[in-house]
Amino acid sequence: MAQTTLRRPLLIGLSAMAAGLAESAAAQSGTAQPAAPHPYVGMWVTEDQRVRHELLPDNRYVEARGQREAAYRGRYELRGDEIFYWDDTGFTADGRFIDGVLYHGGMVLRRRAAP
């Protein structure tokens, strides 16, 4: 019985290692598929287009305000329907997606369709 108990973790470990090697080989050969971007990635704008949040696939964002195309930059994290921002200057903020609309800092932003 003890022998079976010892083999099981070893087999699981070897299986995981083999799977990791296969993924690594696929990535090196260029056959690995890139992960699909999160559904919230893209451009979000206020109705008057004055404030624009571009959520980038690498968890970075650029916020434009009026004529300032890159007024703020930083990183963001998505947790379910919540978004947390850390601006490069140290400012933090958050928001929430409800029914396809981003509510952030008293603003309402809607997704802008890609051109």
**pLDDT, tens digit (0-9, with 9 covering 90-100), for 16-74:** 444 443 444 444 545 556 677 899 999 999 999 999 999 999 999 999 999 999 999 99
Q: In sequence order, what DSSP letters do the residues of 44-94 get, joined into one string?
A: EEETTS-EEEEE-TTSEEEEEETTEEEEEEEEEEEETTEEEEEETTS-EEE
The CA distance from 8 to 14, in Å, is 10
Q: Is residue 90 part of a domain?
A: yes
Distances (CA, A) of 51 to 16, 47, 70: 46, 9, 11
Q: What is the CATH number of the domain that holds 54?
A: 2.40.128.290
Specify the pTM: 0.68
Instruction: Look at residue 96 and tell me whether its pLDDT is greater than 90.
Output: yes
**pLDDT, tens digit (0-9, with 9 covering 90-100), for 83-95:** 999 999 999 999 9
Q: Is residue 8 part of a domain?
A: no
The DSSP code for 3 is: H
Q: Can you give the pLDDT at residue 107?
A: 98
Q: Is residue 84 part of a domain?
A: yes
Structure tokens at 9: 């973790």
Range of the structural domain that residue 80 is part of: 42-111
* Residues 23/28/29/30 CA torsion (nearest 10 deg): 90
Q: Can you give the pLDDT at residue 34?
A: 67
Residue type present at position 108 = V
Q: How far is CA 83 from the centre of its chain?
A: 10
